[in-house]
Amino acid sequence: MKILITGGAGFMGSNMIHYLLRTREDVEIVNFDNLTYAGNLTSLSDIQDDPRYTFVKGSIADADAVDKVVQGMDLIINYAAETHVDRSILEPKAFIDTNIQGVYNLLEAVRKHEIPRMVHISTDEVYGAVMEGESSEEDKFEPRSPYSASKAAGDHLCHSYAVTYGTPVIITHSCNFYGPYQFPEKLIPLFTMNLLEGKTVPVYGDGQQIREWIFTEDHCRAIEAIAEKGRLGETYNIGTGYRVPNMDVTRKLLELTGRGEDAIEYVKDRPGHDRRYAINSTKLRTECGWEPLTSFEEGLAKTVDWYKTNTDWVDGCRTGAYKEYYDKQYKDR
C-alpha cells in the first residue's frame, strides 16, 4: 500500500510514520512536508534510510506540487495544517492558505487521479465551546478563532466534495493530542520544557479551561482503524472521554518535573478562549472497533520522560537547526 502523509515532519505526521513503519510491513510511505517552523526532519532521522520511506519537500498550498505527489497513492492522510490558535490570532493568512486552499488542492487531486481514499485530520475546536454534554458528528460548527474557522472551512469542503462528486474522503475530529516530537508551543510540550529548564509556565486566566486528551499512539491507531474500516463520506470523532482543566494538567507536570506552584505565572486570557471541549466518540468505537489504550497519567509520564532525554531535539526546534539537517541530508538527493 502506497500512503501519502502530508505534514509528515510535524508532530502527529511523524508519529504516524513511525507507527506505520513499526507495525506494518506492507506499506510504502511518502512524507510530503513544507518544513515550516514546526516541521522537523530530525524527528524521522532513525527511519530516513528505510527503503519504504521517501521524503518530498512541498506545500499542500501548491496545487502543482500536490498534483504530482498524489499520483499512484492508495491512501492520503492529511496532517498538513497550521494548528496553533495563538499564531492564528496574530497571523491568520497562513491558516487560510494551508487549511482551506491546501485542502481544496488535495481534494481536486484526489478527484482527478482517482485516489481510492483520503483521511482528513481535523479538530474538536470546530464545534466551539461545549459547556455541557458532548459534541457529536451531527452537531453544527461554531468556530471561535481563525484557526478553528479555517479547519471548519476545510471540513465543509471535504463534505461537499463527498456529496457532490463522490470524492472518497473521511473527516476526523480529534480531541487534543500529546506525546513525543511535539513542537514546544502547545501546553504540554511548552510547559514541560519550561519546567525542566527552571522557567515559569504561563497559565491563561484562571486555568479552568477544560480539554480532552489523547496520547499520540492511540490517535495513530484511531486513524489506522478509520482508514481501514471507516465509511467514505463520513465524519468520526476521536476522543477518550478524559477531560480535565488546564490547571490540573499543569499540576501533573509540576509533579513529574519536581517543580512547585511558584513556577506558575498567571497571564491574561487570550481572546475568544473556549472554556470547554468534549466530544462523543461512540461512532468510531462502534463502527471501527477502536478504544484508547493509554491512560493520561501513563501517557503524560512517557511524554515528560521523552522530553527529558531529547533536549537536543528541542534545542534544534528553537534554533532552527533542523533546517541545517535538511540541507545536509536531503537537499542534494
pLDDT the model gives residue 85: 79
Q: How far apart are CA 193 and CA 189, in angstroms?
A: 6
pLDDT the model gives residue 206: 87
Confidence of residue 333 (pLDDT cuts 50, 70, 90): very low
Confidence of residue 328 (pLDDT cuts 50, 70, 90): low
Task: Report the b/e string of 183-201 with b at 16+ CB within 10 A.
Answer: bbebbbbbbbbbbbeeeeb
Judge whether residue 331 has pLDDT over 70: no
Strand partners, 77: 5, 119
Q: Which tens digits make up the pLDDT trace of 21-47?
A: 999 999 999 999 998 877 889 899 999
Among this protein's residues, is 332 annotated catalytic?
A: no
Question: What is the distance of C-alpha 327 from the center of its chain?
Answer: 25
Judge whether residue 318 has pLDDT over 70: no
Instruction: Pinpoint the alpha helices (H) of the chain.
Output: 11-23, 63-69, 85-90, 93-96, 103-113, 146-165, 187-196, 216-229, 246-257, 282-288, 296-309, 311-319, 321-329
Q: How far apart are CA 215 and CA 306, in angstroms?
A: 13
Q: What is the mean pLDDT of residues 185-205?
A: 90
pTM above 0.85?
A: yes
Among this protein's residues, is 147 annotated catalytic?
A: yes
pLDDT the model gives residue 18: 98
pLDDT the model gives residue 219: 98
Among this protein's residues, is 125 annotated catalytic?
A: yes
> Contact, 13 vs 31, CB < 8 A?
yes
Q: Which tens digits make up the pLDDT trace of 160-169?
A: 999 999 999 9
pLDDT the model gives residue 324: 53
> Contact, 27 vs 21, CB < 8 A?
yes
In this structure, of 151-155, 158-162, 231-235, 274-278, the range with the lowest mean pLDDT score is 274-278
pLDDT the model gives residue 329: 45
Q: What are 329's three cell numbers?
A: 541530508
Catalytic choice (147, 178, 181, 322): 147
> Contact, 193 vs 253, CB < 8 A?
no
Mean pLDDT, the chain, rounded, equals: 91
Domains located in the chain, CATH noted:
2-329 (3.40.50.720)
Catalogue the long-range contacts made by 95-98 (C-beta closer than 8 Å, 24 or more residues apart): 95/146, 95/147, 95/150, 96/146, 96/150, 97/61, 98/59, 98/60, 98/61, 98/150
Task: Return the residue matching grid coordinates 516530537.
Answer: 181
Q: What is the mean pLDDT of residues 114-138?
A: 94
Judge whether residue 303 has pLDDT over 80: yes
Amino acid letter at 116?
P
Judge whether residue 322 has pLDDT over 50: no
Catalytic choice (33, 82, 124, 274): 124
> Contact, 53 vs 17, CB < 8 A?
yes
Confidence of residue 330 (pLDDT cuts 50, 70, 90): very low
Q: Which tens digits make up the pLDDT trace of 86-115?
A: 788 888 999 999 999 999 999 999 999 999
pLDDT the model gives residue 116: 98
pLDDT the model gives residue 311: 82
Residue from 292, 206, 279, 276 nearest 244 by CA: 276
In this structure, of 124-128, 248-252, 325-329, the range with the lowest mean pLDDT score is 325-329
Q: How far apart are CA 240 and CA 282, in angstroms?
A: 10
- Residue 285: C-alpha distances to residues 140, 223, 226, 288 (Å): 21, 12, 10, 6
pLDDT the model gives residue 325: 43
